[in-house]
């Protein structure tokens, strides 16, 4: 590492705390980005196969112009009448099934889930939650308790379900009974429609329906967390919950909807939202401000990205399946452009350490990916949606070379 990088790292550690997470053994010293490319100060051009926030591509000119134009006019809040805010809420609601007719704005996925939790508790009068094993829903105190991927003491009001295919028919009833035995009825079942932190799975509709039927029957609400897979990333549906055959009572949005401008939203029905608004006077200073709404509207103008997620995602998984024939330790999962590649233990090395080696190796081959899952042994491929076949080819060549190099290093027979 260069002396300049070393000194930045020292300053970062001092200013941000020595345990502030940073990606890659050799950190990425960013300069600027466009489309699916991230440029570093050192002059590298990295293929971004990691970031879903720049949904329509990094620094998309239409989004940048919309933000700049609105910021030069007024950056106010939802207490004033503003065309952008209303138009954006209407556009989101028009894309959702009928019962979801009311939109509340916040600033992040965490805030959206925190608000969804408050709404669910207020509407049901209950205080229990069901989530998946190794779930992640954000950083507030309330949603950290719903994030079983975060190391913490077990919360008595939260029960976990195993991710598919392990999850069994009786499991949801058993979990509800355990909650009941501790004095809690379910206010909500929270599901990241992409099951991202649980290891990236693509279960059939029956899997989700079994759970949601039981939760509804017990009086709880269904919250679809679309922070990872919303806006067409699944390739088949605009919203991930549609792919799962879910009928959520509340949908939460974040990350990609502002293409990098902070923006979160909660979409629910009037009968859930209005009593809560009346009782609490809910208002977020920056949530849904006109600049954020302008960014959100500009993101929605993009066409063909879902079809590209389908076509390129299918092609990418086919090529990965090809690699898995040569490397039987790989198992390919996911849908659209949210793809997981699980790496099993092999040659005396654990899957998670192999995964870390591959992630850092690819970074040296100018490709950004991440690691995910309960054991940290799933490669996470989740690029901006303009990601196309030549980009997939570049990724596959680098991954093939990296896997062969890793095998030669650790299994030199």
Interface positions with ligand PMP (CB under 6 A): 108-110, 113, 136-139, 192, 196, 225, 227-228, 254-255
Sequence-distant (≥ 6) Cβ neighbours of residue 140 within 8 angstroms: 110, 111, 113, 114
Q: Which is nearer to ligand PMP, 138 or 313 (by Cβ)?
A: 138
Q: Which is nearer to ligand PMP, 159 or 225 (by Cβ)?
A: 225
- Closest distance between ligand PMP and the C-beta of residue 138, in Å? 4
Q: Which is nearer to ligand PMP, 54 or 138 (by Cβ)?
A: 138
Sequence-distant (≥ 6) Cβ neighbours of residue 27 within 8 angstroms: 5, 9
User: How many helices (H) does the chain have, and how many strands (E)?
Assistant: 13, 15
Q: Which is nearer to ligand PMP, 148 or 357 (by Cβ)?
A: 148
- Closest distance between ligand PMP and the C-beta of residue 266, in Å? 12
| Torsions phi, psi for 341 (to 5 deg) | -125, 105
* Ramachandran area for residue 59 (φ above 0: left; ψ -120 to 50: alpha; else beta): left
Q: Are strands 221-225 and 250-253 parallel, antiparallel or unpaired?
A: parallel
- Closest distance between ligand PMP and the C-beta of residue 172, in Å? 20
- Closest distance between ligand PMP and the C-beta of residue 45, in Å? 26
Q: Which is nearer to ligand PMP, 263 or 320 (by Cβ)?
A: 263
C-alpha 246/C-alpha 326 separation (Å) is 37
- Closest distance between ligand PMP and the C-beta of residue 225, in Å? 5
At 159, list the tokens. 């029960």
DSSP summary character for residue 256: G
Residue among 208, 199, 253, 248 at smallest CA distance from 228: 253
C-alpha 68/C-alpha 344 separation (Å) is 47
Are 346 and 329 in contact by the 8 Å Cβ rule? The answer is yes
At 244, list the tokens. 């799962």
- Closest distance between ligand PMP and the C-beta of residue 379, in Å? 16
- Closest distance between ligand PMP and the C-beta of residue 227, in Å? 4
Q: Which is nearer to ligand PMP, 52 or 212 (by Cβ)?
A: 52
Q: Which is nearer to ligand PMP, 330 or 385 (by Cβ)?
A: 385
Q: Using CB atoms, what's the residue nearest to ligand PMP?
A: 109
């Amino acid at each position: 590492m260069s002396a300049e990088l070393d000194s930045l790292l020292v300053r970062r550690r001092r200013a941000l705390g020595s345990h502030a997470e940073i990606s890659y053994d050799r950190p990425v010293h960013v300069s600027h980005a466009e489309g699916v490319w991230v440029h570093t100060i050192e002059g590298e051009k990295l293929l971004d196969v990691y970031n879903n926030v720049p949904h329509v591509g990094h620094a998309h000119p239409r989004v940048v112009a919309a933000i700049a134009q609105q910021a030069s006019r007024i950056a106010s809040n939802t207490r004033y009448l503003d065309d952008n805010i209303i138009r954006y809420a209407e556009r989101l609601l028009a894309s959702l099934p009928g019962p979801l007719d009311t939109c509340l704005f916040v600033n992040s996925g965490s805030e959206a889930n925190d608000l969804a939790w408050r709404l669910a508790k207020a509407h049901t009068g209950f205080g229990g939650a069901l989530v998946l094993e190794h779930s992640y829903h954000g950083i507030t105190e309330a949603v950290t308790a719903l994030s079983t991927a975060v190391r913490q003491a077990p919360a008595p009001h939260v029960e976990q379900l195993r991710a598919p295919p392990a999850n069994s028919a009786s499991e949801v009833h058993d979990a509800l009974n355990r909650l009941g035995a501790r004095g809690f009825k379910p206010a909500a079942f929270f599901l990241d429609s992409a099951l991202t932190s649980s290891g990236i799975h693509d279960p059939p509709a029956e899997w989700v329906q079994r759970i949601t039927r039981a939760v509804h029957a017990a009086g709880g609400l269904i919250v679809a967390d679309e922070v990872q897979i919303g806006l067409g990333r699944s390739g088949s549906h605009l919203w991930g919950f549609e792919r799962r055959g879910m009928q959520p009572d509340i949908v939460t949005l974040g990350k990609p909807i502002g293409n990098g401008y902070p923006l979160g939203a909660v979409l629910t029905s009037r009968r859930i939202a209005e009593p809560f608004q009346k009782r609490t006077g809910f208002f977020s200073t920056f949530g849904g401000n006109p600049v954020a709404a302008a960014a959100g509207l500009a993101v929605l103008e993009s066409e063909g990205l879902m079809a590209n997620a389908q076509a390129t995602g299918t092609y990418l998984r086919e090529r990965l399946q090809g690699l898995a024939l040569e490397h039987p330790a790989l198992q390919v999962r996911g849908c659209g452009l949210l793809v997981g590649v699980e790496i099993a233990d092999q040659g005396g090395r654990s899957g998670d350490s192999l995964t870390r080696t591959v992630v850092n190796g690819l970074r040296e081959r100018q490709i950004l990916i991440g690691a995910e899952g309960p054991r940290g042994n799933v490669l996470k491929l989740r690029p901006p949606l303009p990601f196309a076949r030549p980009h997939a080819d570049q990724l596959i060549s680098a991954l093939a070379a990296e896997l062969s190099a890793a095998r030669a290093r650790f299994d030199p027979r």
